[in-house]
Every structure is written in structure tokens, then in C-alpha cells.
Amino acid sequence: MLSKKVSGTTVGMWLLIPGLLKLGAWDILKGWTGKSDIDIEPRIALQLVNESALCVNRVRRKNSLNHQGFQLLNGMSRLVSDEQVHLLLNSHTMNDTHDMMLNLGIQRKLSGHYKGNLIALDPHRIISTSKRVMAKKKKKPDAPSQKMLQTFFSVSAKTGQPIMATMSSTGMPTTKASLKLINTTGQIIRTPSLLIADKEHFTNKLFETVSNNPGLDLLTPALNSQRIKGILQTLEYTKLRAGFAIAETDFSFIGQKIKHRLIAERFGEKDYRYSAFLTTSSTDAQTLLCENYDERWSVEEFFRFENDMGLNRASTMNLNIRYANLSMAMLAQAATYELRKNLTSDYRKWNARHLANEVLAWNDGDVKVKDDTIIVTFYGSSDYIKKEEYINLPDKLIQNGIDPHIPWLYNYKLDFKFK
């Protein structure tokens, strides 16, 4: 097909390739599949990455994309079938995919996707319609118990970018799932960091584990139990401003000797309201509560912006398949983050679906080969793209220490034109 000029509307997808090269995506996929440059398995995985970037479920059913060059992005002449995808995903264990996610996180760290020392932890639960018999869980305290798939994320609070994700069925306790997440996150970041989490993480096991890790601290809200209420009302508070005061005391979980800092907030002038946080950090209380903890909402922003890439689907409870699908979505998200850097500022805040519709999916253009270079031409308006970042792309990649040859496209280079 490359020997002919291909005309279509998915030329925007080629903009992801520089980011994939920078992240070493091909080596990550080859490592996961255990295959080489000439094999089809890494290309099937790459097709899943590109599907996630388009925010569509089972793009394989959209035959029209077969005639617009989408399959060429993956180094193939056609789209692979559902059965081929199923067999590939099911042939790899959750441990295989966990190692792949670890490698991706390390590459993202090297690429500057994580900044600061704040890491937000949060479960992300997806309602499932599976017919299997399984434990049910409440997505919210006031909601009915339902079957669901549990995912657990760590996110760089400064940049809002995911560091690591784990997955489990409904019955897995948050504490047990979070211990593995925290351990792997530490392997990626490797610098002293403060973990900020919600009340589900207010458990002795988590605080004990973090207390024994010199590179990590933990900050969570305390449960509103009768014991905590009693402690809050007996403390001496320091007034910081009208209607707001704080206090501190030592706190140990029942039956435990390890002491942690309990920081209390008091609101109001007469009819007081209280809240409390537990932490292993020695940072001053006002910074922890008024600055650091507010950054936890970056993880909610991540879910809101990137959900449509596949973070909101649980079509099967086969965890090998679902976790592998999640890893492809995480790789797609990393590539789109690189792409966002090359959008003009007005468009960087588009969510994943908006980005897919406006940039990746519906741009007129063509793809052709000249000598050893694939040339992608955009027609019409593309004001959201910093064109100077893509014209003479091979030279720009070399200047940044990146090999411009694309291994899944038989070592062709890539360049862009805008008309």
C-alpha cells in the first residue's frame, strides 16, 4: 500500500509516532510479547495502542478504517481479527503485563513526565455486567453493592500523569492491592515522595509499610470513628485565621506501638466542625493540609480526561486480558501526552475523546513514500499543531538523541508536510 499514495482521514494518528519512538514503545511491546521486529505479535499490540488513542472500542469492526491507512500505522496491510487479539492478550499473565507497565513507567520517568515529590493514590472502579458469581462492592458509600473491576492508580500530582496501575477482581481489599502498587511506584520514582490518598488507605498495614520505607511518606484523611472524634475534641488548637485552627497529637492504631502524626482541623467560631489526617511525614501541618493534600484531585482529573481511552471498560473479567488492555491504554496515553506538548496552548486541555476527534481521527491527508522516508501530508486547517515541531522531523529526532528509523515500519523515517 505504501507504494501507492494512500488518502484518508486518520493522518493525525501519525503524529503519535515521535512520542512512541521517544518512549521506546516498540522495545516495550517486543519485551512483553517476547517477539522480534519481523513478528506480527508486537504489531497486534501496537494496533491496540492506536485503538486506545482513538478512544474507540473494537475499531476492528470499522471496516472503513482499513481503507484509510490505519493498518499501515502498525506495519501491517490489514487489521487483525478479534480472535487474534484475544489469543495474544490471553497468552500473557498479569505478571508479564505488570513488568511491561514497570518498564513504561521507567521510560516515562526518563522522559520527564513526572515532576515534584507528590504522588496521588486512588482506586478506580468500573461497573461490570459479567454473569460470573463474584463478590460485590460499593462504588460509593451510599450506592448499592455491584459487580465491578477494580483498578488502582498512582499519579504524579504535579503533572497529572499516571505512574503505575494494578488491577484486581471485586473482592480484593484496597490495602492489599495498594501495597503492590506502592512498591512498584517506588521502583519507578526512586526519590523521596509523599503519597496522598483517601480514607480507604487509612489502615495500619499501609502506615506500617510506609513507615519502614525511608523513601516514602503517607498522608490520608482519618476515619470519622468515635475514637477519632473523642481525640479531636480534647486537643488544644492554634488559630490560623478566622474560623480555622489546627492541632497535632500522636496516634497509634489499636493494638499497635508505632506512633504517627494525627493532624486535626477545626472549622467555625462557636459550633465547631472537625476533620483529621494521619501522616508519616515531618513536613509542617499547614503545608501538608493546605497545599499538599489539595493536589490529590489531580488523580480525579486524570480519570476525567483519559477515561475514554479504555479506563472505563470492563467487558470481561479475565484479568489477563483486561490488564493487558489497560497497559495498551497507558502506553497510548503516554504517547498522547507527548503529542499535547506540540499543540498550541488553547488545545492542550482537550480530553482524550476531543483530542481523538479533532486531531487524530478526522484530518484529510495522504501518506506516501519518498526514498527512505514516509511523508504524511495534512490538507486544510491544522492550527492546533505546532507545525515547526514536525517539519524535518528526522533531523529533530536526531538532535534529541532519538533514532529516526521506525522499526515496525521496516526502518523507514517519517516526515510531515502541511498544505
Are 262 and 232 found together in one domain?
Answer: yes
Are 12 and 122 found together in one domain?
Answer: no
Are 210 and 133 found together in one domain?
Answer: yes
Encoded amino acid at 33, one letter: T
φ/ψ of residue 327, rounded to 5: -65, -35
Instruction: List per-residue pLDDT tens for the chain, 419 residues long.
Output: 666 788 877 889 999 999 999 999 999 999 999 999 999 999 999 999 999 999 987 655 555 555 567 888 898 888 888 889 999 999 999 999 999 999 999 999 999 999 999 999 998 888 777 777 877 877 777 778 888 888 999 999 999 999 999 998 888 889 999 999 999 999 999 999 999 999 999 999 999 999 998 889 999 999 999 999 999 999 999 999 999 999 999 999 999 999 999 999 999 988 899 999 999 999 999 999 989 999 998 888 899 899 999 887 766 778 999 999 999 999 999 999 999 999 987 778 899 999 998 899 888 899 999 999 999 999 986 788 999 999 999 999 999 999 999 999 999 999 999 98
Are 390 and 410 found together in one domain?
Answer: yes
Are 46 and 171 found together in one domain?
Answer: no
Instruction: Return the pLDDT at 4.
Output: 73
Element holding 289 (H helix, E strand): none
Task: Report yes or no: 270 and 210 within 8 Å, Cβ to Cβ.
Answer: no
Residue with cell 472500542: 57
Are 180 and 105 found together in one domain?
Answer: yes
Tell me whether residue 145 is in a domain: yes
pTM of the shown model: 0.91
Q: Where are the alpha helices (DSSP H) in 127-271?
A: 174-189, 204-211, 226-234
Q: Could you tell me which residues are beta bridge partners of residue 109? A: none
Are 85 and 171 found together in one domain?
Answer: no
Q: Where are the beta strands (DSSP E) in 211-310?
A: 216-221, 238-241, 244-251, 260-267, 273-279
Tell me whether residue 349 is in a domain: yes
Tell me whether residue 312 is in a domain: no
- Write the CATH number for 137: 3.90.350.10
Q: If DSSP codes are grouped into helix, strand and coil, which group holds residue 191?
A: coil
Are 328 and 286 found together in one domain?
Answer: no
Instruction: Return the pLDDT at 104.
Output: 98
Q: What is the pLDDT of residues 60-91, one digit of tens each?
A: 555 555 556 788 889 888 888 888 999 999 99
Task: Report yes or no: 312 and 305 within 8 Å, Cβ to Cβ.
Answer: no
Encoded amino acid at 226, one letter: Q
Are 110 and 253 found together in one domain?
Answer: yes
CA distances from 92 to 35, 88, 118, 307 (A): 13, 7, 32, 24
Are 350 and 409 found together in one domain?
Answer: yes
Residue-range definition of the domain harbouring residue 25 = 6-91+318-418
Residue with cell 448499592: 144
CA distances from 168 to 92, 171, 206, 313 (A): 16, 8, 18, 14
First to last CA, the chain: 23
Are 55 and 133 found together in one domain?
Answer: no
Cell of 65: 478504517
Instruction: Return the pLDDT at 67.
Output: 55
Which of 254, 282, 306 is the C-terminal boundary of a domain? 306
CA angle in degrees (0–180, nearest 5) for 274-278-282:
120
Which of 306, 341, 374 is the C-terminal boundary of a domain? 306
Closest to 408 measured CA to CA, from 43, 155, 10: 43
Q: Could you tell me which residues are beta bridge partners of residue 161? A: 156
Cell of 178: 495498594
Tell me whether residue 313 is in a domain: no
Which of 276, 306, 336 is the C-terminal boundary of a domain? 306
Are 140 and 252 found together in one domain?
Answer: yes
Cα–Cα dist 210/230, whole Å: 26
Number of domains observed in the structure of the chain:
2
Q: CB-based contacts of 297: which residues, under 8 Å, 6+ apart?
A: 120
